[in-house]
Amino acid sequence: MAAVNCISPEKIQTIAVIGTGSVGASWASLFMAKGIQVHAYDTRTDAKQKTQEFIQAAWPALHELGVTPLKQPNFELLSFFDAVHDAVQGADLIQENVYEDLALKSELLKAIESGITDDTLIISSTGGIPPTALQQACRQPGRFVVVHPFNPSHLIPLVEVVGGEKTAPEVVEWAMNFARYLGKEPVHVKLERSGHLTNRLQFALVKEAVACLMEGVASANDIDRAVRFGLAPRWMLMGSLLTLHMAGGKAGMKGILDHAGPAIESWWTPSVVPTLNETLIALLDAISPEIANQQDVQSWITWRDEQLVNVLKLQVQSQASEPKQ
C-alpha cells in the first residue's frame, strides 16, 4: 500500500460536516470555535436553523473553556449546501454523522467520494459500525477512519479512533493528532468490535444498573446515586484498572486479587442478565419520571452542559498534578 499524505491539522481551513443532528452540530460548533470553515449538509428542511441554534447554545461553554476567544459564534464560517457533492467540494476534510445504518452510510460515502479528490480524508462518527464494513463503499479506503465522539461532542474530551482493515497506519496516526489539535483525548481502538470500546464499558454498568433494578436491590434513584456519588468522583480521576491496582496497596493488582479474588469474581459475575423485552422496556419507561425528578429532558441537557464546564476544568487541573515518571 502506497504511503498516504495527510494534511497537517493546523492547515485545515474547511471541513465538510455531513449530517447536522446533535452530533454533527456539536462537531460544527467545535470546528468553528477553532476558526475552521464548515460546509454543512443535511436533508432536514430546518437543518440550518436548528444547527445555528445549537451552536449559539454551545458557544458560552466553548468560550469559558478557552477553546475560542470569541464571545459569539462567527456564523460566516457556516455554509449550508443542498447537495452532498457541493458541500464536500474544496473541503480539506470530510466528517460524516448520519444515522447508524450501513446501507445509508455506504451510499453517502459514494456520494462524498464523487465530489472530492483522492487526497481527501474522511472521518466518521459511527458509534458501532465497523470501519471495515464502511470501507467497502470507498474508492480510497485507506483514507477512511472512524473518529467516534461522546455526547456532547463539543465538550466531552474523549474520542475513539478506529481504523479498518484497509485504513493506512499513517491515517490512524493523523486522526490521533487531529483529535489532540482539537483539544480532545483520543484513544486508539486496535480491534474492531461492536460498540468500539467505551460503549462496551458504559453499557456493562448500565446492564448491571438495570439488573439491580429488576432484582429490587435498590430504587432507581439510589442506583443512580451510587454511581454519581460513589463511583463517578473517583472515575473522573482514574480508570477502573488503576483503581483496582491501587486497591492492592504496595502489592498492586496481584495483592488485591490474591486477597479478594473470589469475592471480586462473584461481584462481576452477573446474577441477572437483562433482556430488552416489552416488560423491561415498560419498567424502564415507568421509572423515567422518578430518575428525571419530573423534569423534561431538555432541562437536564441544559444543566448537564453548564455543569460539564466546571467538571472539565477540575479534570484538567487534576491531570496537571497527577504523578509522573
Domains located in the chain, CATH noted = 12-189 (3.40.50.720), 198-294 (1.10.1040.10)
Task: Note the pLDDT of residue 3.
Answer: 79
For residue 73, cis peptide bond before it (omega within 30 degrees of 0): no
Cα 89-91-97 angle, rounded to 5 deg: 95
Task: Note the pLDDT of residue 1.
Answer: 60
pTM, two decimals, is 0.93
Residue 193 has what DSSP assignment? -
What is the C-alpha separation between 165 and 265, in angstroms, rounded?
35
What is the C-alpha separation between 13 and 34, in angstroms, rounded?
10
What is the C-alpha separation between 91 and 12, in angstroms, rounded?
9
Task: Note the pLDDT of residue 161.
Answer: 98
* DSSP reduced 3-state for 17: strand
Task: Note the pLDDT of residue 118.
Answer: 87
Reported as a single tens digit per residue, the pLDDT across 97-118 is 999 999 999 999 999 999 999 8
Residues of the chain with pLDDT under 70: 1-2, 325
Nearest to 155 by CA among 249, 47, 30: 30
Q: How far is CA 319 from CA 99, 230, 258, in A?
A: 35, 20, 31
What is the C-alpha separation between 15 and 40, in angstroms, rounded?
8
Reported as a single tens digit per residue, the pLDDT across 70-86 is 999 999 999 999 999 99
Q: Which stretches of 12-127 are DSSP H helices?
A: 22-33, 47-64, 84-88, 102-113
For residue 177, give the H/E element and its range.
Answer: helix 169-181
Reported as a single tens digit per residue, the pLDDT across 131-187 is 999 999 999 999 999 999 999 999 999 999 999 999 999 999 999 999 999 999 999
